[in-house]
Amino acid sequence: MNCWQRCANDNRGLQVRTGFLQGFTQLSLWVNWFMLLVIISAVLTSYCLLLLLFALFQVALREPLDLHWLHKVLLGFGVLFIFFGVTGISIKWRKEWPTVPLSLRATAPFLQFGAVGALTLLSPFVFKGFHAAKAKWSRFFIVAVPLAVSAGIFLCPLYIQTQCPCLTEQLPKKPDLIGHRGAPMLAPENTMMSFSRSIGCGVTAFETDVQLSKDRVPFLMHDHQPGFLLRTTDVKERFPDNITSNSSEFTWEELQTLNAGDWFLKTDPFRSVSKLSEEDKAMARNQTIPSLLQLLRLAKQHNISVMFDLYSPDWENDTEDVVDTILESGIDPHLVLWLPPAKREYVKKAAPEFKQVYKDSERLRNKSGNLNVKYSYDIEEIRKLRKMNMSVNVWVVNEQWLFSLMWCLGVSSVTTNSCHLLKDMRHPDWVMN
């Protein structure tokens, strides 16, 4: 349960669509290796569960347990798969392990109930094995291990820390929603259609990514390594001799000729295209790369804040051009949430009304401002900051169970791909009157 909930949230996160992006980078194909591992894990888990149930029926019917060699092979494969899977994750995604205790804050009570049930079902096997064993050391081992496991299961509630369920009278304000590259489940990411769709979700801010073209025009695009246009545009057809270039090698006029929406309909990254109307599909198919100025005008029109990362090989000079573009747009400077760390002191002087947003390491140095961190950030630190009335935004929160946890924790806002799902929540999934 814990694993599936984590996977569900991260599979909807663009920054954690690691399987898709790695498969695309290495094979130029949309191969979601992450989901492939999840499916194999689900098959093995279901197989082991069914095998256990079959064994229980055999015991109830007083039939002998005779495990076929094929089952032994599959069980052995399952053990090896888990071992190498955990080892691989520990090496490849070590920084993701802090997410596990966070997930347990939501799932531990339910997992404990399930463990008690499983222990009850397995108890007949333990007693049967004890009576069948002849050697004293065998009997001791058969009794000692289940007793130790039982003690751990029944005592673990003493160590379970959770924000859920919330008490209704102590329920914090519902976190504001920030559209992660707009509403990327409803439209191609970082397009005007995507940001327009997020307005319908009631977002209080747009989150995006900014780069500068060869002729110094800030535009919206997340991928920023060589070949940055391959995933979300038709650059391979338009500029076949220039597909591995950086943003600074394309003029704004050239970027505007690219289609930035057709990939969304072809790859269906969130399995959401089938829910779109024909009109929406036609609109998505005709999206282009927008400029930062276009987004600022939309934000100004609807009084919505803008927060962005700045990706550039020349942060120093690009920061000044981006600040100039924002000031020239006429948007209320209080609506600008400045996240890029480069030349922050310059930004404070040039645009003192911008709201400074810090990542963890920067906040520790500045001891002030607003915080923008991943959802697996230290929960106790978030609670401490909120008591100090500091604004804390967490990214990327896509599933209702995780949003409920963040809500009960009292975070100020969440960056999400699923604004259309979270906007209708009236209370966390777990509340107590």
The domain segmentation of the chain, as residue ranges, is 32-96, 98-164, 176-423
The answer on pLDDT for 9 being more than 80 is no
CB 425 within 8 A of CB 174: yes
Answer whether 296's CB lies under 8 Å from 306's CB: yes
pLDDT of residue 262: 96
In this model, does residue 18 exceed pLDDT 50?
Answer: no
Task: Determine the pLDDT at residue 169.
Answer: 66
pLDDT of residue 15: 38
Identify the weakest region by mean pLDDT among 114-118, 216-220, 305-309: 114-118
pLDDT (mean) for 234-244: 87
The pLDDT of residue 319 is above 90:
yes
- pLDDT for residue 85: 78
Mean pLDDT in residue range 205-219:
96
User: With the CA atoms of 28, 29, 30 and 33 taken in that order, what torsion angle do they form, in degrees rounded to the nearest 10?
Assistant: -100
Q: Each residue of 384-428: pLDDT tens digit?
A: 888 888 899 999 999 898 898 899 889 999 999 999 999 999 988
* Cα gap 360→170, rounded to integer Å: 28
- The pLDDT value given to residue 432: 56
Which residue has better confidence, 339 or 21?
339
Band of residue 14 on the pLDDT scale cut at 50, 70, 90: very low
Average pLDDT, the chain: 84
pLDDT above 50: residue 87: yes
Name the packing angle between helices 379-387 and 400-409 (round to 10°): 50
Residue 29, pLDDT > 70, answer no
| Local confidence band at 34 (pLDDT 50, 70, 90 cut-offs) | low
Burial 308-327 (b: 16+ CB within 10 A, else e): bebbbeeeeebbebbbebbe
Integer angstrom CA distances of residue 336 from 4, 292, 325, 374, 393: 36, 12, 12, 20, 15
Residue 92 has pLDDT above 50, yes or no: yes
**296, two tokens:** 């600022």
For residues 324-349, average pLDDT: 95
- Asked whether residue 301 carries a pLDDT value surpassing 90, the answer given is yes
Terminal C-alpha separation, the chain: 26
Question: Confidence band (pLDDT; 50, 70, 90) for 163?
Answer: low
pLDDT surpasses 70 at 263: yes
Are the beta carbons of 315 and 283 closer than 8 angstroms?
A: no
Whole-angstrom distance, CA of residue 193 vs CA of residue 184: 9
Residue 138 pLDDT: 82
Helices (H) and strands (E) in the chain, counts: 18, 11
Percent of the chain with pLDDT over 70: 85
Average pLDDT value for residue range 44-67: 77
Does 341 score more than 80 pLDDT? yes
CATH numeric code, 176-423: 3.20.20.190
- The mean pLDDT of 69-77, rounded to a whole number, is 85
Task: Return the closest-CA partner of residue 258 out of 242, 273, 278, 277.
Answer: 242
Higher local confidence (pLDDT), 371 or 363: 371
Q: In this predicted model, which residue has the larger pLDDT, 192 or 119? A: 192
Cα Dmax for the chain: 86
